[in-house]
Each structure stands twice: as C-alpha cells, then as structure tokens.
Amino acid sequence: MTRYGPLVGVRQPPNPSRGYRPGLKLNAQRIHKRHRIIAVTAAPIDAQYLTLAANGVLTDYRILDVGNMLVAVDGGAAGTYSLNVDPSQIDHADLDNLTTGNPHSQYMLGTILSANGDILTRVAGSPAALAVGSNGQVLTVVTGAPAWATPASSSAPPFTLPPVSQQWYTAPSQDNNISTMTVAINTLYFTPVWVPQTTTYDRIAVEVTASAAGNVHLGIYGPFTGSFASLPLIVDSGAVSTGTTGVKTATISQSLTAGWYFIASLFSNANVVRQIANSGMVNIWGRTVQGNSIWDSRALYSQTYGNLPSPSTTTPTFDNGGTPLVELRAA
C-alpha cells in the first residue's frame, strides 16, 4: 500500500497552542513520497506529446490519430512504441486505375512485371508488361508500340547514303528505267527498300498515271530476317483514293532501324502506275530457275483487297515483271 504524508495547507480548526491562526487559507496539495502523478483529463489531440521525467513510468509518448487508420501504441515502461495500420481503413479499389483523379492510383502494382527482363509499357491507356525477348533480339517500334525483333544481318549501307530529310527512297535500281504498268487487282506487291541507318519516314506514295478509280493500301513490312512468310506489318496507310491521276500520298510517322524492308501496295482497281521496269531491278530476289535470261525482279502475294494482312501470309511468288514504284520520304 502506498503511504502518503499529511495534508499540507488544509484548513485546520483553530488551536493557538499549535501556532495556527484562524482564517488562514492555503492551497491544498497532497505530496506523493515516491512518484509524481499526471492525470490527463481530456482526449489528446493529434501529434500531442506527453513528456515526463525519467521516472520509469512514461517517456516521450506521442499520440497519433490519422482518420483512425494510424494508431500509436505504448510499449510500456521500456519506452518503445509501434505504429499500427488498420487495414479496414485503406481503400484498394482504384490503386491500378489510371483514369481516376487519385494520385495514389498512379503507382504500378508489382505483379505487372512477373518475370526477369520484363519491361513496363502502356497499352490502350493502361500499364502492361512487355515480355523479355529472345537472345540477340533488339527493342524496336512496330505500329507505334515497342516490340522485340531480330536485327538485320548487316548494318553496312550497300546502296545508299544515309537518308536526307525530305528526299524520297525506294528499291535499289541499276538504271533509270522508270516506266508504267497496269497493276493486278487482289495482288499484294512487295517493293524492297534498304534503310542504311535508323531513320524516321513521314510519307509513303505511289503515282497513278491512268485508269484512275478505286483505292490503294500502302504499307511497310519487315525487317527481313530470312523468310518472306509471317513478316510483321509495321504500317498500313488505310485506303488512299486513286480516283484521279497524280501522286497519291499518305502521311505516316515511322522510325525504321537499319535493314531490309518491303513497301507494300494493294489496289482495288487495275490502275496504271509508275513502275521500276524489270530490267532496272537489282538482283536481290535471286533466281527461281537457273539459267534464265533475266533474274526475278518482283514478289507477289495473292491477297483480296482490303486492310493489309498482319503478318504477311505464305511465301510470295517471284517473277521477272515490273514492280510498282512506291516510295518513302525521310522526315
């Protein structure tokens, strides 16, 4: 049992023999022999400190209350405290929703990247993982999105200087034999083009000289890595009108790394267009039959008019006819 001393300053009955005088007023105080006692009569406010002397009872106690979510807990006389989080007070509903106005929803969830080498990208307005590619592949851009691809086998420019801004480029030709041809309907033409270094192209075009009607889809496939089947489609211009004669141009914005690519054209009408004559084509396709008097000069796919196939279908047919003069302009 704790013992207390006498009351000091409490009004006493008059007793002249003990030296007290009647009417004396003193402040009442009980003196504790061992401890000072502090009683908190009201709830503490957020971040309030109660600091006592080093008497083994309390030291540096901090009260935290943040919307009932964070609560400080007294660890006792040892003076250690913990900060507990109440999970029921946390709203996880929109953590991965980028369309909300809550800034905390912008943090990426760790589960998006599930394997070593995955990289973070954005697909249809939401975060997504791009799986790691194969050994030797390089990161490129295909149809406006990052993708892994096998690099071209050579980066040396065999036919052209580095592209010059606003200049037009097409298949390598051994002479200036540019004439006209009537294109076949439902035939996908491939015109090869060499990109000597990473270059952005901003236009793709073909010239209609007669039989103006219908539409054409222009595009880019590649890069070529040894097979004509299943080549990635990089650009499809959409339907470009060939209803009048003249140069038909589609606006694009496409960066291509060094390598061989194919400019594609698919017509809905038998237009007459500018062509690179077969005698002008450089021997890049090889020969289908040994000893022919002329090497193969073009590649054709059987394809119903419409959007360009993605990817290219089976291996094309090669022959020695002319190929549409489709060109790319360096940005």
One domain for residues 145 and 220: no
Going by C-alpha positions, the residue among 329, 300, 306, 325 that lies closest to residue 209 is 325
Cα 254–Cα 199–Cα 330 angle in degrees, nearest 5: 80
User: Which residue is listed with tokens 């954005």?
Assistant: 122
Q: How far is CA 64 from CA 45, 58, 77, 158, in A?
A: 8, 16, 19, 72
One domain for residues 122 and 210: no
Q: Are 61 and 81 in contact (CB under 8 A)?
A: yes
User: Which residue is listed with tokens 């694009």?
Assistant: 252
DSSP secondary structure letter of residue 113: -
How many structural domains does the chain have?
Answer: 2
- Asked whether residue 284 is domain-assigned, the answer is yes
- Could you tell me the residue range of the domain that residue 128 belongs to? 103-149
- Asked whether residue 260 is domain-assigned, the answer is yes
pLDDT at 242: 96
pLDDT at 123: 84
One domain for residues 177 and 144: no
- Asked whether residue 65 is domain-assigned, the answer is no
- Asked whether residue 197 is domain-assigned, the answer is yes
- Asked whether residue 38 is domain-assigned, the answer is no
One domain for residues 314 and 178: yes
Residues 47 and 171: their CA atoms lie apart, in Å, by: 74
Residues 171, 175, 180, 181, Cα dihedral to 10°: -60
- Asked whether residue 136 is domain-assigned, the answer is yes
CB atoms within 10 A of CB 327: 23
pLDDT at 307: 96
One domain for residues 177 and 108: no
The CATH number covering residue 230 comes to 2.60.120
- Asked whether residue 85 is domain-assigned, the answer is no
One domain for residues 140 and 185: no
Q: Which of 116, 149, 182 is the last residue of a domain?
A: 149
Q: Which of 117, 149, 181 is the last residue of a domain?
A: 149
**Would you call 110 helix, strand, or coil by DSSP?**
helix
Q: Which of 120, 149, 178 is the last residue of a domain?
A: 149
One domain for residues 250 and 116: no
- Asked whether residue 279 is domain-assigned, the answer is yes
One domain for residues 125 and 261: no
The string over 184-202, giving b where at least 16 C-beta atoms fall within 10 Å of a residue's C-beta and e elsewhere, is eeebbbbbbbbbbeebebe
One domain for residues 109 and 238: no
Residues 6+ apart with CB under 8 A from 229: 312, 313, 314, 315
One domain for residues 200 and 309: yes
Task: Name the residue type at position 10.
Answer: V
pLDDT at 125: 80
Residuewise pLDDT in 10s, the chain (331 residues) = 444 444 444 444 444 444 444 444 434 343 334 444 344 444 445 444 444 444 444 444 444 444 454 555 554 545 555 555 555 555 554 444 444 545 444 556 667 777 888 888 888 887 888 888 888 788 888 888 888 887 765 544 455 678 899 999 998 877 777 899 999 999 999 989 999 889 999 999 999 999 999 999 999 999 998 888 889 999 999 999 999 999 999 999 999 998 899 999 999 999 999 998 887 777 777 776 666 667 788 889 999 999 999 999 888 888 888 899 999 999 9
